[in-house]
Chains A and B, each alone.
Chain A
Amino acid sequence: NAGVTQTPKFQVLKTGQSMTLQCAQDMNHNSMYWYRQDPGMGLRLIYYSASEGTTDKGEVPNGYNVSRLNKREFSLRLESAAPSQTSVYFCASARIATNEKLFFGSGTQLSVL
């Protein structure tokens, strides 16, 4: 029972490089989320997708794009990485309209030099 799977677990980028963080869930959840976690600032929502085919901005969307590829997969793309995007990124999913419990992946630790 995999739950929410994120790849990669670690990544180092140079300023200006691009990359995509991958997330997949096998729980048939309709909603998926990308958060970043920074010391002293807690977890902040970057983007979310309430259902397949829809995406919406969260609290800190600047510098990111997302794609809800299908019901299982939700990717986060950094087009031109900046040092301010150094963080730990978490993907989460939930089944809206039931108990809506959030399930999290194990995270991606990203460093932008």
Chain B
Amino acid sequence: KQEVTQIPAALSVPEGENLVLNCSFTDSAIYNLQWFRQDPGKGLTSLLLIQSSQREQTSGRLNASLDKSSGRSTLYIAASQPGDSATYLCAVRPNTNAGKSTFGDGTTLTVKP
């Protein structure tokens, strides 16, 4: 059974700092890995999706990397802003089980002005 772990559970940084969020998974037979952002009381917004054949994806100040062999993905946020404060979740889609993605519990990020 796939297990997805996100450490730390919470992170607080001053505005302007670069930061890295971590996502670890136990089964490397994945189809893709997706990073989401969730604001309090809201749904999940997709940030980046990395296919299993890719090493990284970039969107603006966000960069996500994937190392299947070690079962790790990182989400790098450059020049953090208070508006980046949210919970960030990763989800791993397996090669089998027709779309049954497994989610981590998320890292709650607070960026202080």
Contacts and interface: CB of A to CB of B under 8 A. Distances in A.
A58 B101 contact: no
B99 interface: yes
A70 to B, nearest CB: 19
Interface string A95-112: 010011111111101000
Given A42-B105, A42-B106, A43-B89, A101 B100 contact: no
Interface string B37-74: 00001111110010100000000000000000000000
Contacts, number: 59
Contact of B93 (A43, A100, A103): A100
Given A99-B32, A101-B49, A105-B43, A42 B104 contact: yes
Interface in A52-79: 56, 58
A58 B98 CA distance: 11
A101 B34 contact: yes
22 contacts: A31-B99, A42-B89, A43-B89, A48-B99, A48-B100, A50-B98, A56-B98, A58-B100, A94-B99, A96-B98, A99-B49, A100-B99, A101-B46, A102-B44, A104-B43, A104-B44, A104-B45, A105-B43, A106-B43, A107-B41, A107-B42, A109-B41
Interface of A: 31, 33, 35, 40-43, 45, 48, 50, 56, 58, 90, 92, 94, 96, 99-107, 109
Given A48-B98, A92-B44, A107-B41, 11 more contacts: A42-B89, A43-B89, A48-B100, A50-B98, A90-B44, A96-B98, A96-B99, A102-B46, A104-B44, A106-B42, A109-B41
Interface of B: 31-32, 34, 36, 41-46, 49, 51, 89, 91, 93, 98-101, 103-106
